[in-house]
Amino acid sequence: MSKLNAIARYELLMAWRRRSLPILWLLLLVGSIFFTTLVANSSRPTADADQADVVESTLAAADLPEWAQGIDMLVVEHTVGLFSVVITGMVFFMVGVTLLMGEVIPLDRQFKVRELLDTLPISRATYLVGKLLGAWIGVLLGILIGGALCVVAIRLILGIYDLRVFAVMWLVMLTPMALVAAALSVLAGSFFGSRRTAVLVGLLVLPFVMTLAMVAVPTLGGIGALIEPIYALVVQMEPSAATNTLIGQRIEDTLLVFAGVVLAAWTVVWGWMRVRSAR
């Protein structure tokens, strides 16, 4: 375990020193804030106090469905707009992760670090897992730091919104896809021995990563309905207890598929490394 932690810490430190982590974090933050500004500019003005009084009143009419009663529609409007903000942030982040994380293992070969590690009692499995953990920790730190900054920035730019829904959308939509993108980029880059070729590999991996994201977004985007049923409408589903159960099941299935993809890729790379070393 100490060897695993050492490899992960080393990778995290190196990623910071070569500036790939700050670049990734900046991509996420800038992309999210930029699109929040677009959403704010496209929504109707709400600054006027008299207009706010008219719009703000909650829905409590008897003829409305139960899930729509007591809902502040201004909050709902702003929160629904954040669905696009999270998707935009995810796209910016995943592109950066896929292109920049592929250099993790090739750099070890390029600077002869791998040869040094081969003289130590470190298994290939430990090496691969340590590299992935280092990349994942950097990604997770970016998501947490970027999310905290976006919470404040969005409140200042857009106004009131449902923080609970934004938080679960940010974590559930962004985290799994970013981790998958990092894993596939790191593992695919392990077949090559230079930073330049690793970036080219990232370009090849990117379409597959983005395809996974576009398939998963309609499923993961329904997470807000588990907080407030009305947000099932974001993924074009009827708010109900049955819908929430279905959304939960779909999210679970999607996460299992992601885990399977990462495990399969890791197994292929680990097997290839063993075969190569046996020659």
Residue type at 112?
K
Which of the given ranges, 163-177, 184-198, 223-237, 265-279, has the highest pLDDT on average? 163-177
Distance from C-alpha of 100 to C-alpha of 178, rounded to nearest angstrom: 12
- Asked if 185 and 97 count as a contact pair (C-beta separation under 8 A), the reply is yes
Question: In this predicted model, which residue has the larger pLDDT, 77 or 55?
Answer: 77
What percentage of the chain exceeds 70 in pLDDT?
84
pLDDT tens across 210-245, in order? 999 888 888 888 899 998 888 888 888 888 889 999
Distance from C-alpha of 227 to C-alpha of 163, rounded to nearest angstrom: 11
Let me know the angle formed at the C-alpha of 132 by 128 and 134, rounded to the nearest 5 degrees: 120
Say yes or no to pLDDT of 119 above 80.
no
Say yes or no to pLDDT of 118 above 60.
no
Residue type at 169?
M
Say yes or no to pLDDT of 143 above 90.
yes
Q: What is the mean pLDDT of residues 74-97?
A: 88
Distance from C-alpha of 89 to C-alpha of 205, rounded to nearest angstrom: 19
Mean pLDDT for the chain?
Answer: 82
Which of the given ranges, 66-75, 143-152, 214-223, has the highest pLDDT on average? 143-152
pLDDT for the residue 72 = 80
Question: In this predicted model, which residue has the larger pLDDT, 273 or 278?
Answer: 273
Cα→Cα distances 169→29, 115, 173, 218, 226, Å: 15, 43, 5, 12, 11
Question: In this predicted model, which residue has the larger pLDDT, 25 or 62?
Answer: 25
| Total length of the chain | 279
Instruction: Please identify which residue in the block is written with the tokens 């985007």.
Output: 221
Banded pLDDT at 203 (limits 50, 70, 90): confident
pLDDT for the residue 113 = 61
pTM of the model as a whole = 0.85
Say yes or no to pLDDT of 144 above 90.
yes
